[in-house]
Amino acid sequence: MRRISIFGATGSVGANGVDLIRRGGGVDDYQVVALTGGRNIERLAQMARDLRAEVAVTAHPELLEDLRAALAGSDVRAAAGEAALTEAAAMPADWVLSAIVGSAGLAPGLTALAQGGVLALANKESLVCAGGLLRRTGQVSGATILPVDSEHSALFQALGGESLDSVKDVTITASGGAFRDWPLERLAAATVAQASTHPNWAMGQRITIDSASMFNKAMEVIEAKEFFGLAPEQINVLVHPESIIHAIVNHIDGGSIAHLGAPDMRHAIGYALHWPERRALPVPPLDLARAGSLTFRAPDEIRWPALRLAREVMAAGGAAGAVFNAAKEQALDDFIAGRIRFTDMSPRVEATLDSLSAQAGFGDDPDTLQTVLHWDALARQEAAA
């Protein structure tokens, strides 16, 4: 039986993963090792009971007793805190879904990678912060990293194992998020509630706001560079409001291969779960007649300055990715808390990059978790409102 763990099981991606495990045969086909979550103790306990997990971990130590109580009478062990997350990641598993949001996903992801097996990576932040470190850790242990982000899963599938030598460049699409068609002058007044609605995808709040600001796509450009080893200038972004084409591989011979599908994360999660096989998944069929037309436009870097910042981060190298991600996380915290406006996020991230670069540069590509966390803390401090 395959041993699997899900980090961030109570979130949007994680819960879809749990749902696929349930439908895919549940406890008869999978031995669930660890499920982790945050403050939603009831949901975590229910998932852990249903899937008969060995351990359930909340990120919050003060909630350990609540989790114990919610698991009373079951065989599931309760644990809490950062160290417990890392311990859970060290438990042998064949397949681990990394679906914690933010750089908090890096430590458990690295620990899981060091055990070998498959790491299904939704946590794009870890590739942005520490792409080289992840790759090297996986190479040493012999682990496989599979993309769960829909655009990267699409690229992976469109490439179909072909060599990058025949790839001219690639395109990842962006819906444009909540404010795609807003007049620019209205953006400064955009509220958290308005930024938290997505036209096509149902996702966690943070990535939904990042879609409105395009920080999500900016991160995904860096993610594509790190995951596939592409050059920055080989990665294009195309605004595609219908979210049907997720990515396109453009070959040197003029042929392009696109990946299409309904905007439903269960496809990318399920693809990674069953890889290298394909199995039927509960995803709506593609209905192009109903879609009628697919439209495209070039991204507007005045509306979405995050895309320009991603190019600058890739050019800078070293710890710039870790700084970019942490400054973005801090700016997002401050926007959600009402401390800054929607349009203040990009300037704040840019100022943090400029200031830390001017102080001492971004150094070498970080090669330990401690180095990444050091830059992460510096950047959050610098970016805080």
In 3D space, the residue among 58, 59, 49 whose CA is nearest the CA of residue 26 turns out to be 49
CA 303 to each of CA 52, 177, 326, 328: distance values in angstroms, whole numbers, following the listed order: 47, 12, 22, 17
Of residues 145-174, those binding Mg ion (CB under 5 A)? 149-151
Q: Is the CB of 125 or the CB of 382 nearer to ligand NAD?
A: 125
Q: Which of 63, 70, 113, 125 binds ligand NAD (CB under 6 A)?
A: 125
CA 209 to each of CA 14, 191, 199, 221, 335: distance values in angstroms, whole numbers, following the listed order: 19, 10, 12, 17, 10
The secondary structure of 67-122 as a DSSP string is HHHHTTTSSPEEEESHHHHHHHHHS--SEEEE---SGGGHHHHHHHHHT-SEEEE-
Q: Which of 20, 84, 96, 100 binds ligand NAD (CB under 6 A)?
A: 100
Of residues 241-280, those binding ligand NAD (CB under 6 A)? 265
Q: Is the CB of 21 or the CB of 59 nearer to ligand NAD?
A: 59
| Beta-bridge partners for 43 | none
> Are the CB atoms for 98 and 126 separated by under 8 Å?
yes
Listed ranges 2-10, 185-193, 236-244, 344-352: which one lies at the site for ligand NAD (CB under 6 A): 2-10
Q: Does 122 bind ligand NAD (CB under 6 A)?
A: yes
* Binds 265: which of ligand NAD, Mg ion, none (CB < 5-8 Å by kind): ligand NAD
Q: Which of 10, 157, 175, 325 binds ligand NAD (CB under 6 A)?
A: 10
Q: How far apart are CA 94 and CA 326, in angstroms?
A: 30
Place of tokens 């430590």: 107
Q: Does 329 bind Mg ion (CB under 5 A)?
A: no
Q: Least distance (Å) from ligand NAD to the CB of residue 369?
A: 15
Q: Does 325 bind ligand NAD (CB under 6 A)?
A: no
Q: Least distance (Å) from ligand NAD to the CB of residue 14?
A: 5
Binding residues for Mg ion, total number by CB under 5 A: 3
